[in-house]
Structure 1
Amino acid sequence: MTDERKQHPEEESFKDKILNSLHGSYEQPPREPENNENQENHQFTRFSDRIVGQDNTTEPVQTQTEESVGSRSERNNQKTIEEEATPIEEEVDTYAPDTKNGRRQQRKKEDKIVGKIVLIIVVALLFIGGILGFSVYRYLSSSLQPLDASNEQLVQVEIPSGSSNKEIGEILEKGKIIKSGLVFNYYTKFKNFTGFQAGFYQMAPNMTLDEIGKQLEDGGSATPVEIADNRLTIPEGYDIEQIAKKVAKVTSYSEKEFLDLMKNQDFFKKLKEKYPQLLEGASKAEGVRYRLEGYLYPATYDYYNGNSLEDIVTQMVDKSNAVLIPYLDQIQQKKMTLHEVLTIASLVEKEGVKEGDRKNIAQVFANRVATDMPLQSDISILYALGEHKELVTYDDTAVDSPYNLYLNTGYGPGPFDSPSEEAVQAVLNPTENDYYYFVADLKTGKVYFAKTYEEHLKLVEEYVNK
């Protein structure tokens, strides 16, 4: 072994340690061989000489006895094994921490990769969900609109008896009147359309779902009819002057012609003879502007170019007769006339939108009539003024007119518009309460009720004046 290796034993390689161990076994002073050595000793000596002779720094080793050589070999072998074991243990101890750190780093890398993959998947799902949600929203929005707002061409469809809303929607979709039968089914349920009737209907792609639902409630014809040239829709709450404008847009008749017919007493008498129960109250009313006000039922009517103006009006009155006459017994039980019911219903139609509000408002009017209080409805003032505006001023309430229900008690001359059947039902089946005042929030449309005038003023200040 060289001096350099002795000075730095820690730098010895595993191979060097093996060789040094072998050399170390024979780097002892030469001993004289004993006389009683056998042939094997001489053979071992020669073998040793060959091994030692390979290292120039080591002198030849003399032969030794078999016992000494064997003992030395065992010691050298044990030492060699121990020396071999030591660097292996050191190597394990040395590299174990690095292996653990490597595994930790590898796990961190894998976790980062997995995290990125999960993030990509989540973002992709959110993106796809957003696209699907937007597509569904667009589809629903478009399905709630008329199929073709510019197409007024009427199509005749048959609704069989016993058809469900879903089946009716499928028929209308196949007839290219609406975009989606599925949306129609859910929309009519949401809007509480009920009592759809079987029959033949004439509809157009420019009709709204509300118009279609209303027409289905009103009923069609029992047999197929000639396709009409146009459609005349009278919205709920329209008064006669508004109806005149609508007629002028759809038919060949002007507003003036229509209003002149409304004032024609001979025409009214003809209708009275045809519908005596319906028009009895109107024939006895005093101070009315138009005797047929409230009796032109809001619905959709087929118009043919050959129809006269009287035919158009008669069709509307006939519809009112069909809807209202079934309520005569209930009206008599309330000790009211049909004319009075229509008058209150015409106010309820515009004062409230929701069914619950309408029933409460109808009872407020009933409470006021019972105590001989003026109804004080702004709708009556607007009708007396002949204007349509959002707010009624204090000066407006002083208008000189029998329709001014701020100054006059009772029901007034008659209806102020054409009420719906729902408004009539609210009057006949009001919600019992002890309110005498109500005010509507102009922004939300919500109606607030009060028992006293002081409470009412606070509500007005909070929901109207502000």
Structure 2
Amino acid sequence: MAKRSGNQPDHQSKDKQQLESDAEQLAEERVAEKKVVDKIVYWIIGILVLLVVIIGLLGFNYVHSSLQPYDKDNNKTVVVKIPIGATNKQIGAILANEKVIKSAMVFNYYVKSHNFSEFQTGFYNLKPSMSLAEVTKKLADGGSQTSQYRVLIKEGATVEQVGTAVAKATHFSKQDFLKLMKDQTYMKQLAKKYPKLLSSSMAQKDVRYHLEGYLYPATYDYYQGMSLKELVNAMVEKTDLVMQSYYKQINAKDLTVQKVLTLASLVEREGNNSTDRAKIAGVFFNRIDAGMPLQSDISVMYALNTHKKHLYNKDLAVKSPYNLYKNKGYGPGPFNNPSKDSIQAVLNPTDRAQDYLYFVADLKTGKVYYSQTFEEHTSTNSGIQTKNGDNN
């Protein structure tokens, strides 16, 4: 029978000590790791708390600043129109856009927190030097319900005709208006404010009036204390508002606002309804693609700066970049201020596949006839009564 080794208890003792040592070391490592993790957590919490404090301070300063006047030194009266049905949020945006208050968002929260009901529509005389509380009180008191005068800009009206309408409805003279239309410093200011709208006009040479085509046909309110620039600003702003829906489409078609409004101004006077305007726009594009001049009487009369019942050969030969009988392409720019319907017609022309290059309108019936060839056009033209501006 074999004997047990006498060293076995010593080995077991050593193994036990080793295990205990390893366990202690592992415990120490875990404690150290926990300390590191705790420090990281504390740092993260500290940073988050600091960020919350910073954001809170920034928010407090922003709100506090927004409660103060937009410009405490500016006592110029700004007449603000609050339209029918405008929400408090929309009113805040209007006030911020007019630079009467600093923040539309703070205005909205201020109105809610002070339990103001919806404000009345009308005109309000406000100042940038007013605090938000003062502006809100003014709104709560109610505004004037009507403007002093109303300026009607008809569809297809030229800048000259707009000047006549302004002079008729306000104390500004037509000369004052036309002088402003030639004010290049003012034009550059508008182009800076509305770059998408006016950049292509400002880039074009030989333009008679850079705002021809950009004074949207509508009725505009004029009230006491309003400057001529403010009145014109309203017209340009309205045009930009209408064109906002079309900027992407214009770029996608590789056109410019100037080109679109130029064709729209011709379509405005050539067609009497949406269907014919879209077809006429198609004829114009076909002629441009074919390298043919547009040959619109509207362009000749604009070049002559007069309206005529009958145009003669000498009229058609007038030297002017606006004469599209002699010059190919779009010319310098629009010939009048077109309606939305004409703008849509240019952006959505119809019957282009029919290859129409000519059209003529019957003066008696108003019906428009379209032709592919000059011979067909001449034959049609000889059998109907036409008027200037209705034939190509």
User: What residue in structure 2 maps to residue 455 of structure 1?
Assistant: 376
Establish whether residue 446 from structure 1 lines up as the match of residue 367 from structure 2: yes
Q: What is the count of residue pairs matched by the alignment? A: 254
User: What residue in structure 1 maps to residue 342 of structure 2?
Assistant: 423
Q: Quick one: which amino acid aligns to residue 377 of structure 2? A: H
The CA deviation at 1:423 is 0.4
Picking from 406, 426, 437, the partner of 2:325 is 406
Distance 2:294 2:305 in 1: 19
User: What residue in structure 2 maps to residue 320 of structure 1?
Assistant: 239
Establish whether residue 232 from structure 1 lines up as the match of residue 180 from structure 2: no
Distance 2:143 2:311 in 1: 47
Distance 1:323 1:255 in 2: 26
Distance 1:277 1:157 in 2: 26
Q: Residues 157, 280 of structure 1: CA spacing in aligned structure 2 closer, same or farther, 3 A cutoff?
A: closer
- What CA RMSD, in Å, does the superposition of the two structures yield over aligned residues? 2.2
The CA deviation at 1:305 is 2.1
- Identity within the alignment, %: 51
TM-score, normalised to structure 1's length? 0.52
Q: Give 5+ residue unaligned stretches, structure 1.
A: 1-155, 162-198, 203-222
Picking from 187, 190, 205, the partner of 1:271 is 190
Q: Give 5+ residue unaligned stretches, structure 2.
A: 1-81, 88-119, 124-140, 388-392
Bigger radius of gyration, 1 or 2? 1
- Structure showing greater relative contact order (alpha-carbon pairs closer than 8 Å, 6 or more residues apart): 2
Distance 2:386 2:175 in 1: 39
Note the alpha carbon deviations across 1:31-88, whole angstroms, 9 max, x for none.
xxxxxxxxxxxxxxxxxxxxxxxxxxxxxxxxxxxxxxxxxxxxxxxxxxxxxxxxxx
User: What residue in structure 2 maps to residue 384 of structure 1?
Assistant: 303
Distance 1:465 1:343 in 2: 23
The CA deviation at 1:389 is 2.7
User: What residue in structure 1 maps to residue 71 of structure 2?
Assistant: none
Distance 1:428 1:225 in 2: 40
Q: Quick one: which amino acid aligns to residue 328 of structure 2? A: T
Distance 2:176 2:208 in 1: 16
Picking from 339, 342, 345, the partner of 2:261 is 342
Distance 1:397 1:224 in 2: 57
Distance 1:465 1:233 in 2: 30
Note the alpha carbon deviations across 1:205-224, whole angstroms, 9 max, x for none.
xxxxxxxxxxxxxxxxxx97
Distance 1:256 1:302 in 2: 20
Distance 2:149 2:251 in 1: 39
User: What residue in structure 1 maps to residue 280 of structure 2?
Assistant: 361
The CA deviation at 1:159 is 6.2
The CA deviation at 1:157 is 9.2
Q: Residues 224, 445 of structure 1: CA spacing in aligned structure 2 closer, same or farther, 3 A cutoff?
A: farther
Distance 1:261 1:159 in 2: 34
The answer to whether the Cα contact below 8 Å between 1:282 and 1:291 also exists between their aligned partners in 2 is yes
Instruction: Flag as ranges the 4+ runs of structure 1 deviating above 6 A.
Output: none
Q: Quick one: which amino acid aligns to residue 396 of structure 1? A: D
Distance 2:122 2:215 in 1: 20
The answer to whether the Cα contact below 8 Å between 2:360 and 2:386 also exists between their aligned partners in 1 is no
TM-score, normalised to structure 2's length? 0.62
Distance 1:362 1:332 in 2: 18
Distance 2:122 2:334 in 1: 30
Q: Quick one: which amino acid aligns to residue 339 of structure 1? A: Q
Establish whether residue 375 from structure 1 lines up as the match of residue 272 from structure 2: no
